[in-house]
Amino acid sequence: MSELPWGGPRFWSGVFRVADPKLTLASVASMIVGLSAAAHDGPIAWGPLVTTVLGIVALEAAKNASGEIYDWDSGTDLRVAEEDRSPFSGGRRVLVDAVWTRAQTATVSGIFYAIGGGLGLALAVRQPEVIAVGLVGAFLAFFYHATPIKLAYRGLGEAAVFLCYGPLIAAGAYLVQRGHISRAVIHLGVPVGVMVAAFLFINEFPDSRADAASGKRNLVVRLGRASASRAFALFPVVAFGYTLLGPVLLDLPRATWLGLIGLPHATAAARRLWQDYDVTGRIVPAQAWTLASFVLLAIGTGAGMLIGR
């Protein structure tokens, strides 16, 4: 690929792609839960809050950029058929669409990892334990695609996404504010993590043929589209069942049941996927409903923590 210029509309469109606001909502949802739990237990320090948000968003963009390189090298993004392209899947396509060169993609990824790491160190001055949480998050982000671990290629991507976008980010956001991690914030992060994993899972359907041809053995490839379309329903059952149990198992406000406002979207997504798992055009609305489901779950749960003192 010939060298492309730095700066200019084309370059910045690539930055927007790897920092895609749609996909950053997964991080935001977990932060909402963690910060709401922190606000329930005490005052919010706004400077560290802003630093936390910026640091996680930077790591999200870094992960997306580095993932583009490994999916390009494996050929999976190149193999996605035009009819299987979706706003939510198929990668950010900065290399496939020749928006950036491979070297530029690596450089931008490194810059975002450096920004995220620098902001994490700034938080560690206030709360040293943040370093451990940040290192786990950075490890999962980079090795989600990267060799030799390649979590997404070994059927472990869904588990990594659950851990990172559920308990880990929520606990990290809480830790920055309160100086420790509570059982409650871990519990609150679990349902969000499950539904973000569901979002990854449904996004694997349009790419499954390309992934299979490239050796990317995620859960949809391993199960096959038909079986995976049935398995998807387990995600909302676990996530919203866990939400129901929160006030019963732990001393959580019953108002956290407001998180159940995400259930209708999850149910609609499961029904659509069951019926039309093999047609990408029909899956796209279900992808959007799954995204809405975890966002509403996080907002409802967070609101429940704030009003249920």
Q: Using CA atoms, how far apart are residues 196 and 198, in angstroms rounded to an integer? A: 5
Confidence at 119, pLDDT banded by 50, 70, 90:
very high
Tokens 């429940």, residue located? 304
User: 109 and 223 in contact (C-beta within 8 Å)?
Assistant: no
Residue 263, φ and ψ in degrees, nearest 5:
-65, -45
Count of beta carbons in the 10 Å neighbourhood of residue 6: 10
Mean pLDDT score, 59-84: 92
Mean pLDDT score, 274-293: 96
Q: What is the CATH number of domain 8-307?
A: 1.10.600
- Residue spans of the domains in the chain: they are 8-307
Residue 2: per-residue pLDDT: 52
User: 90 and 80 in contact (C-beta within 8 Å)?
Assistant: yes
Q: What is the torsional sign of CA 75, 113, 217, 147?
A: positive
Residue 86, φ and ψ in degrees, nearest 5:
-140, 150
Residue type, 193: G
Residue 23: per-residue pLDDT: 78
**What residues have CB less than 8 Å from 16, skipping those under 6 apart?**
none
Looking at per-residue pLDDT, the higher value among 2 and 7 belongs to 7
Mean pLDDT score, 275-290: 96
Confidence at 185, pLDDT banded by 50, 70, 90:
very high
Mean pLDDT score, 207-225: 95
Facing residues of 86 across strands?
Answer: 89
